[in-house]
Amino acid sequence: MKGCGRTTTGMTRRDVLKLGAAAAAGAAVGPFVVTPGHGQTFNWQKFKGKELFCIFYKHPWIDEMVKFFPEFQDLTGIKVHHEVLPEVQGRQKLTVEMTAGSGGLDLWHASMHVEKRRFWKSGWFQPLNKFLEDKSLTAPDYDWADMTAGAVAAVTQPDKTISGLPTFVDPFVLFYRKDLFQQKGWSAPKTMAEMEDQASKLHNPPTMYGFVARGLKNANATPWAYVIYNMGADYLTADRKSAMNTPAWVKSLEWYSGMLRRFAPPGVVNFNWYECSAAFMQGQVGIYYDGVNFANQFEDKEKSKIAGKVGYAVLPAGPAGHFAPTFTNAMAVSAQSKNKEAAYLFIQWATTKKMCVRELLAGVGVGRVEPWGNPEVKAKPKMPADWYDAYLASLKIGRAGLPEIVDVTQYRDIFGVAIQKAIEGGKPAELVAQASKEFQDMLDKTEK
């Protein structure tokens, strides 16, 4: 790309580079700009013969990355043993391993939006600052400054330590049945009110349901972030107290629970992302929103009945603003590992520009800037053009989707139950008041 020419996604080069203001962000947390000044050679075989043990949570990014393990072993002489588990079970096993303190786990794929403060406070993250600065450990072309500003912020702790190397920033975007919208002469909704109106007109059970999003407790707390932000609400006050017990939270709960109660398939109160995606892929739902990286399965003609029929767009604006919740994952090294440097070599390899290009070619987003403009990615897009547009535009209005607190899981449980009860017909004002009290009690115990 030269000058400010447009990419195949419709974004200008300048637009994309704005997302990578990480050079400035990186300077604020440490001098980690990697240049050829580090030397023209790098010894990937430095830890030949080591063995690493990893836990990964099931995700499209992981599914693609593990395909290249043989390449890593050939490059480094390091053998990788890994286990891929659903996120909840994986985090439970990870917590057991870390609490035991055996040092048997070397690295994992961290959900920074859940684990950031808690694992940092527990001392489970190996700080990576010195590794990033070490010319013998970080390859000259790794280029920390290429990480997006949001990704850098997500892996940076209050004490400025770096807890992981970002794999991707996952914004929530809108998925809709493009074919049905075209039949009705509609474009993607621009406001929450318009989306609600479209859902009501598409709703024709049992053959078609107007809308779906997560209803299951804990899981529902991530799509919920979109509603509160665009309704003008927030998690915490300036002095880090509960900001829940407000009219905006009540209005948000009325809207979200009402959309699911009126327009979603039966049993949505027990739907996680998997059930939502399955219903959408089976052609049973008209409008759905969730993490952008779940979308690659929609275009799989062997699994999806709606391949080629899906539209992708930025989530509609609300009455109080226009934000997209974002969730960042990162490769992290265990502070208990006996092979920290070898583990760092692995997570560095997994987040190189080369690996990011491979992820994009597979239709999975990344936390770097440069790979989006890679000629091969532009020439062989796995996903439709509007997927790339929605992804990049959502990063520009992104906002961390969960509160940065020690016990994010408990918050998700507390308000997740409130959402479920509201879907089942509970009174939003009473549910918000009770949840706010429980949230504040939790903050008093965990945020000291």
Q: Per residue in 346-375, pLDDT tens?
A: 999 999 999 999 999 988 889 999 998 899
The tokens for 287 are 């409008």
Q: What is the mean pLDDT of residues 296-311?
A: 94
Q: Is 39's pLDDT higher than 50?
A: no
Phi first, then psi: give them for residue 394, nearest 5 degrees: -70, -35
In angstroms, the CA 127 to CA 48 distance is: 23
pLDDT value at position 446? 92
The tokens for 360 are 């994009």
pLDDT value at position 24? 34
- Tokens 């962000």 label which residue? 25
Helix (H) or strand (E) holding 175: strand 165-177
Q: Is residue 206 reached through a cis peptide bond, with omega within 30 degrees of 0 on the bond before it? A: yes
pLDDT value at position 138? 97
CB atoms within 10 A of CB 36: 8
Strands 310-313, 107-111: pairing kind: unpaired
pLDDT > 70 in the chain, percent: 91
Q: Which amino acid is at 145?
A: A
Q: Is 28's pLDDT higher than 50?
A: no
* pLDDT band, very low/low/confident/very high, at 425 (cuts 50, 70, 90): very high
pLDDT value at position 171? 93
* pLDDT band, very low/low/confident/very high, at 150 (cuts 50, 70, 90): confident
Q: What is the mean pLDDT of residues 286-308?
A: 93
| pTM score above 0.85 | no
- Tokens 């994992």 label which residue? 108
pLDDT value at position 8? 39
pLDDT value at position 19? 54
In angstroms, the CA 411 to CA 436 distance is: 10
CB atoms within 10 A of CB 204: 10
Q: Contact, 192 vs 317, CB < 8 A?
A: yes
pLDDT value at position 6? 39
Residues 6+ apart with CB under 8 A from 424: 269
pLDDT value at position 212? 98
Q: Is residue 403 reached through a cis peptide bond, with omega within 30 degrees of 0 on the bond before it? A: no
Query: Which of these, 90, 59, 109, lies nearest to 295 by C-alpha position?
Result: 59
Tens digit of each residue's pLDDT (9 = 90 or more) over 243-267: 999 999 999 999 999 999 999 999 9
Tens digit of each residue's pLDDT (9 = 90 or more) over 76-125: 999 999 999 988 899 899 999 999 998 999 999 999 999 999 999 999 99
Q: Is 296's pLDDT higher than 80?
A: yes
Domains in the chain: ranges and CATH: 13-169+328-400 (3.40.190.10), 171-325+404-446 (3.40.190.10)
* pLDDT band, very low/low/confident/very high, at 380 (cuts 50, 70, 90): confident
Q: Looking at 107-161, which runs of residues are DSSP E strands?
A: 107-111
* pLDDT band, very low/low/confident/very high, at 396 (cuts 50, 70, 90): confident
In angstroms, the CA 329 to CA 332 distance is: 9
- The region of weakest confidence among 204-213, 217-226, 291-300 is 291-300
Q: Indicate the average pLDDT of the chain.
A: 90
